[in-house]
């Protein structure tokens, strides 16, 4: 190779080697400052993450307290509905008994009473006729028997009044049947609402379990953050040491290029 070409390539190698050494020197200086700049920033970022975790944990505590209050209220509502439902359930047989009483027992009793009154009315009329005859016998003491309202008439009036009660018994019976039907529907509605509240309570319990899982996850992350704070300086030191090692090899290679360039410029092979 001609001398002029060797010198030209030698100058290029020298320039490249000097440029590389300059860059390597600046890189080494930057690496020497990197640890002092990088660690505070990383620690600051980890501190922000830790504060966010603490805030999230506190928010979970508030949410957990709210869910517990809601769960207690739902349980109380369900217990109250169960009590009401039991009362309604117990009232249905009573209404059935009352319906039977007003629809069958009392009408039968009224009919039997009216029959007895009819018999008593006949007997009373016979007695009154006898009393009238006796009271009209001459020389009999006292006034003639002549009451304003004869007994048999009074008994007949009572029997007639009992006739008025029968339609009222029918009305009462129908009202009781309607009330029984309404109570049965009310009991079914109460049971459905109670089941819905039970589902809500189960959902609240599941939400509470999720909150506990979140608490556990936050605790694990905080432990990891504490470990990272301790280990980050060592990690950065190892990384910087590895980069210094690479730069050292690059510097050696650039020095070799510089030596070769100088040899080419000097005309040595």
**Cα gap 207→196, rounded to integer Å:** 17
**Cα gap 124→46, rounded to integer Å:** 111
Structure-derived torsion over alpha carbons of residues 122, 128, 129, 131, reported in degrees to the nearest 10:
150
Domain count, the chain: 1
**Cα gap 210→64, rounded to integer Å:** 10
Look up the domain containing 194 and give its range.
Answer: 3-266
pLDDT value for 2: 58
**Cα gap 16→14, rounded to integer Å:** 5
**Cα gap 185→70, rounded to integer Å:** 28
For the question of whether the overall pTM of this predicted structure is more than 0.85, the answer is no
pLDDT value for 120: 81
pLDDT value for 192: 86
pLDDT value for 141: 53
pLDDT value for 146: 60
Quick check: helix, strand or coil at residue 140?
coil
Max Cα-Cα span within the chain: 189
For position 96, which CATH number holds?
A: 1.10.287
pLDDT value for 172: 79
Query: What is the full per-residue pLDDT of the chain (269 aa) written as tens digits?
Result: 556 666 777 677 778 777 877 877 787 777 666 666 666 777 777 788 888 888 888 888 888 888 888 888 888 888 888 888 888 888 778 877 877 877 777 778 878 887 887 888 788 777 776 766 666 655 545 555 566 666 777 777 777 777 777 787 778 778 878 887 887 888 888 888 888 888 888 888 888 888 888 888 888 888 887 877 777 777 777 777 788 778 778 777 777 777 777 777 775 55
């Amino acid at each position: 190779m001609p001398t002029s070409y060797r010198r030209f390539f030698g100058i290029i190698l020298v320039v490249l080697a000097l440029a590389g050494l300059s860059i390597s020197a600046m890189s080494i200086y930057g690496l020497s400052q990197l640890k002092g700049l990088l660690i505070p920033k990383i620690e600051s970022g980890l501190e922000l993450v830790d504060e966010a975790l603490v805030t999230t944990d506190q928010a979970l505590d508030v949410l957990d307290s709210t869910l517990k209050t809601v769960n207690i209220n739902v349980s109380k509502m369900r217990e109250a509905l169960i009590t009401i439902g039991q009362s309604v359930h117990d009232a249905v047989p009573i209404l059935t008994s009352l319906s039977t009483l007003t629809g069958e027992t009392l009408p039968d009793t009224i009919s039997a009473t009216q029959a007895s009154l009819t018999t008593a009315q006949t007997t009373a009329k016979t007695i009154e006729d006898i009393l009238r005859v006796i009271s009209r016998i001459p020389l009999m003491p006292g006034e003639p028997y002549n009451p304003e309202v004869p007994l048999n008439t009074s008994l007949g009036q009572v029997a007639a009044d009992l006739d008025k009660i029968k339609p009222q018994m029918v009305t009462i019976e129908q009202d009781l049947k309607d009330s029984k039907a309404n109570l049965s529907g009310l009991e079914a509605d109460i049971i459905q609402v109670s089941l819905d509240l039970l589902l809500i309570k189960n959902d609240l319990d599941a939400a509470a379990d999720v909150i506990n899982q979140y608490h556990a996850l936050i605790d694990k992350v905080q432990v990891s953050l504490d470990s990272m704070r301790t280990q980050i300086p060592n990690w950065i030191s190892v990384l910087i040491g590895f980069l210094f090692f690479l730069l050292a090899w690059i510097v050696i290679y650039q020095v070799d290029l510089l030596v070769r360039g100088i040899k080419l410029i000097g005309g040595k092979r």
